[in-house]
Amino acid sequence: MDLDAITKYSTLHAKPNGLLLQYGTAGFRTKAEHLDHVMFRMGLLAALRSRQTKSTIGIMVTASHNPEEDNGVKLVDPLGEMLAPTWEEHATCLANVEEQDMQRALTDISEKEAVDLLQDAFVVIGRDTRPSSEKLSQSVIHGVTVLGGQFHDYGLLTTPQLHYMVYCRNTNGQYGQATVEGYYQKHAKAFVGLTKQASYTGDGCRTLKVDCANGVGALKLREMEHYFSPELSVLLCNDGTKGKLNHLCGADFVKSHQQPPEGMEMKPNERCCSFDGDADRIVYYYRDADGHFHLIDGDKIATLISSFLKELLLEIGEDLKVGVIQTAYANGSSTRYLEEVMKVPVYCTKTGVKHLHHKAQEFDIGIYFEANGHGTVLFSKVAEMKIRQLAQELEGNKRKAAQILENIIDLFNQAIGDAISDMLVIEAILALKGMTVQQWDALYTDIPNRQLKVKVADRQVISTTDAERQALTPPGLQDAIDGLVKKYRLSRAFVRPSGTEDVVRVYAEADSQESADSLAHEVSLAVFQLAGGVEERPQPSF
């Protein structure tokens, strides 16, 4: 490690005085103008991680659904997963040391992690469409090369595509080819294979309107379109040619406001979906004949997929261990439906993809979705081999079911939730089942719910347990929540400090929208009083 060169180049990416950032749920995220030093340092760190794991490491420059002025960075571990927790700590430490302590910090990490500095390092980089992303990715590259690492810059990619590239490169191409064409071909082949097996085409409408949040998903879907047409035709809106990234559009906006994005004309009963800014989330929705908006979120996506997979497993007669993973934000109706009607075991983890992903790996088939639309399905190696074998050996309908499962394995991104691949799975399932968007929506009715935010002086005064469903501190808060929840029917509420914003999040469910709104408001007041609220007291405005 040429420590002098590092010191010299580091000053070109100087850290603003006093700025402290944390590698949070989804990496570093803040205003783009504060991130240059973080990018350079994450380039250094990725080179160390690559040497230690003797594998390719990924770096994605994006702030996902955050405003265009923000940016962020995430490291991707060898099998396409999120960075290991100990390295998240190294990342935070390295991002925050002052210039004069950089050498020591790097040496410390190398020693603690027994990094072989003679080992080759290789890092792949992707970025979203933010105006700041290109320059910031150059700073990442600078960091990688100063530490003697090599790199491949993929340029514009969706976040899940970058995870896919890392996974492919570290499994010698067994998972797929590490190129965008490889990604398109693999997924389109599985999709076309699936839809060919559809004996009828449901509502006859194989057109889908996609709100791309004015982000990178639009570019990539355009590139991919001809690989899967005419089986599916996509009409893109908010494709980045006019509007601003994530502004009044995208999956996060639609889910949190429970309303359609700007820029999308919806005819009655037309199937529509929204991606977020880096295309790792998807939600569906439609407007009924009376003009009412219906949201189909991650919970209902998980339900559709789980019921389809269960039917196929029944057909092939395999008793594989299936589990559905949710977070506390999952609508109570979805959990009840999965457990009581579909009889699949449901598990709850803390918010954040890495927790769900990790839990899903415990099953032969682990289905995970956050209510916000981030999710995928993981197949264990054993389950995959079994299914591929049955697709050869079985006959008739059983063989067809095994072949469908085989294509489903290829279509789901095994590294991370992926809006494009999820969209293709959903479209294939609807076609195979001959199901309309209304029939899908009618599986169960969501319990009315409300999410609010409260500003407090230090959100870390709130600590939680039981997958964030119970508050441990500050004292008295959980008792207050319990007392409020008792006042409403079918009610539930919890609070947690956000991992991406400086706020406390409040979630409430109850038998009517008015009750959910007022329970959420009352819980917000309790947080404000007991956890050191600042600025204005929460107002009941919905």
Q: How far apart are CA 88 and CA 82, in angstroms?
A: 9
Binding mask 254-293 for Mg ion (x = CB under 5 A): ----------------------x-x-x-------------
Q: How far apart are CA 18 and CA 321, in angstroms?
A: 50
Total site size for ligand 16G, rule CB under 6 A: 14
Please name which of 15, 130, 131, 122 lies closest in space to residue 59, comparing C-alpha atoms: 122
- Of 278 and 364, which has the nearer Cβ to Mg ion? 278
Closest separation in Å from C-beta 46 to Mg ion: 20
- Of 300 and 374, which has the nearer Cβ to ligand 16G? 374
Closest separation in Å from C-beta 329 to ligand 16G: 8
Binding mask 44-73 for ligand 16G (x = CB under 6 A): --------------------x---------
- Of 436 and 463, which has the nearer Cβ to ligand 16G? 463
278 binds, among ligand 16G, Mg ion, none (CB under 5 to 8 A by kind): Mg ion
Total site size for Mg ion, rule CB under 5 A: 4
Closest separation in Å from C-beta 280 to Mg ion: 4
Q: How far apart are CA 173 and CA 167, in angstroms?
A: 9
Please name which of 259, 61, 242 lies closest in space to residue 250, comparing C-alpha atoms: 259
Q: Residue 451 interacts with ligand 16G (CB under 6 A)?
A: no
Q: Residue 370 interacts with Mg ion (CB under 5 A)?
A: no
Q: Residue 326 interacts with ligand 16G (CB under 6 A)?
A: no
Question: Of these, 500, 515, 518, 524, which contacts ligand 16G (CB under 6 A)?
Answer: 500
- Of 208 and 216, which has the nearer Cβ to ligand 16G? 216
Q: How far apart are CA 419 and CA 352, in angstroms?
A: 16
Instruction: Identify the three-state secondary structure at position 504.
Output: strand
Return the structure tokens found at 312.
């196929």
Instruction: Identify the three-state secondary structure at position 295.
Output: strand
DSSP state of 223: H
353 binds, among Mg ion, ligand 16G, none (CB under 5 to 8 A by kind): ligand 16G
Q: How far apart are CA 371 and CA 444, in angstroms?
A: 15
Please name which of 240, 326, 351, 251 lies closest in space to residue 295, comparing C-alpha atoms: 251
Read off the amino acid at residue 33: E
- Of 24 and 434, which has the nearer Cβ to ligand 16G? 24
Q: Residue 505 interacts with ligand 16G (CB under 6 A)?
A: yes
Instruction: Identify the three-state secondary structure at position 456.
Output: strand
Q: How far apart are CA 348 and CA 305, in angstroms?
A: 18
Closest separation in Å from C-beta 499 to ligand 16G: 3
Decide if 81 contacts 88 (C-beta within 8 A): no
- Of 60 and 102, which has the nearer Cβ to Mg ion? 60
Decide if 374 contacts 417 (C-beta within 8 A): yes
Q: How far apart are CA 75 and CA 140, in angstroms?
A: 11
Please name which of 230, 236, 233, 231 lies closest in space to residue 217, comparing C-alpha atoms: 236
Q: Residue 501 interacts with ligand 16G (CB under 6 A)?
A: yes
- Of 164 and 228, which has the nearer Cβ to ligand 16G? 164
Q: How far apart are CA 335 and CA 314, in angstroms?
A: 21
Closest separation in Å from C-beta 256 to ligand 16G: 10
Strands, DSSP E only, in 282-338?
Answer: 282-287, 293-296, 322-327
Question: Under rule CB under 6 A, which residues in 342-381 are in contact with ligand 16G?
Answer: 351-353, 370, 372, 374
Continuous H helices in 394-492: 396-411, 419-433, 437-441, 477-485
SS (H, E, C) 414-437: CCCCCHHHHHHHHHHHHHHHCCCH
Asked about 334 being catalytic, the answer comes back as no
Question: Under rule CB under 5 A, which residues in 64-83 are in contact with Mg ion?
Answer: 64
Q: Residue 421 interacts with ligand 16G (CB under 6 A)?
A: no
521 binds, among Mg ion, ligand 16G, none (CB under 5 to 8 A by kind): none
Return the structure tokens found at 14.
């100087």
- Of 25 and 161, which has the nearer Cβ to ligand 16G? 25
Closest separation in Å from C-beta 372 to ligand 16G: 5
Q: How far apart are CA 93 and CA 516, in angstroms?
A: 41
Q: How far apart are CA 281 and CA 195, in angstroms?
A: 23
Binding mask 3-42 for ligand 16G (x = CB under 6 A): ----------------------xx----------------
Position with the least CB separation from Mg ion: 64
Residue of 50, 64, 421, 491 marked active site: 64
Closest separation in Å from C-beta 143 to ligand 16G: 22
Decide if 162 contacts 60 (C-beta within 8 A): yes
Closest separation in Å from C-beta 159 to ligand 16G: 8
Positions touching ligand 16G (CB under 6 A) are 25-26, 64, 351-353, 370, 372, 374, 498-501, 505
Positions touching Mg ion (CB under 5 A) are 64, 276, 278, 280
Among all residues, which ones are annotated catalytic? 64
